[in-house]
Homo-oligomer: A and B are copies of this chain.
Amino acid sequence: MKELSKSEVKREALIKATISLVINNGFHATSMSKIAKTAGISPGTIYLYYENKQDLINKVYLHVKENFTTYVFKGYHESVPVEKGFKIIWHQIADFRLKFVEEALFLSHCDNTPIIDEESRKEGIKHIQPLLALWEKGQELGIIKKACPYILYAYTVYPMAFLTNAQQRDEYHLTEENRALAYQMSWDSIKINTNK
């Protein structure tokens, strides 16, 4: 196990506190004092590591996005067949969302509200590049519908956010069965129907 220094522990607590408070109350309703108190540090300490509140949210966003990307492309390589590759990535996204619920909600929140600077949002989008490349390959091979990445994303990755959000609110439970069904629907929506 990697040993974390005391300040690294506090740093992690700060990030966790930011994520948790922002998803539950929204960015502007979350005060720096509340973040500090939740993290067990002083408000002033935050300003040793982050320029201001906006800088804090931008950096936390990119940090979480990086963790996300590392997780979902783990073990994936361009060489695997398109359908298999898609299945691996899709399921790892689902795993991430279920394992790191708050982090996942935080990413949805940032991607769907104007709290993140445009620059940081664009930076975050670049991270899913391997998935875009996979789709392109699939399209060249006639396996995947010739839709632009936005449409493909809207029907495969985006719906998961909705389901996890609902689960978070206890309105719905994402069982193994539901998960398999959701994957099938993702795939059905983007694959080319070979039989009439």
Interface size of A in residues (CB-CB distance below 8 Å)? 41
Query: How many copies of this chain are found per oligomer?
Result: 2
> CA separation between A190 and B189, bound complex, in Å?
9
Kindly list chain B residues whose C-beta atoms are within 8 Å of the C-beta of A133: none
CB neighbours (8 Å) of A23 from chain B are 114
Cβ-based interface call for A24 (8 A): yes
In the complex, the answer to whether A166 meets B178 with C-beta atoms within 8 Å is no
Query: When A112-B109, A148-B172 are in contact, do A189 and B28 touch as well, CB less than 8 Å?
Result: no
Question: How close is A158's CB to chain B, nearest CB, in angstroms?
Answer: 5
- Which B-chain residue is minimally distant from A164 (CB atoms)? B154
**B-side contacts of A158, CB under 8 Å:** 158-159, 162
Interface string of A152-171 (1 = CB under 8 A from B): 01110011101101100001
Given A25-B114, A28-B29, A148-B178, 9 new contacts (CB under 8 A): A23-B114, A26-B113, A26-B115, A108-B112, A112-B113, A150-B162, A151-B178, A155-B186, A158-B159
A interface with B by C-beta (< 8 Å): 23-29, 108-109, 112-115, 145, 147-148, 150-151, 153-155, 158-160, 162-163, 165-166, 171-172, 178, 181-182, 185-186, 188-190, 193, 195-196
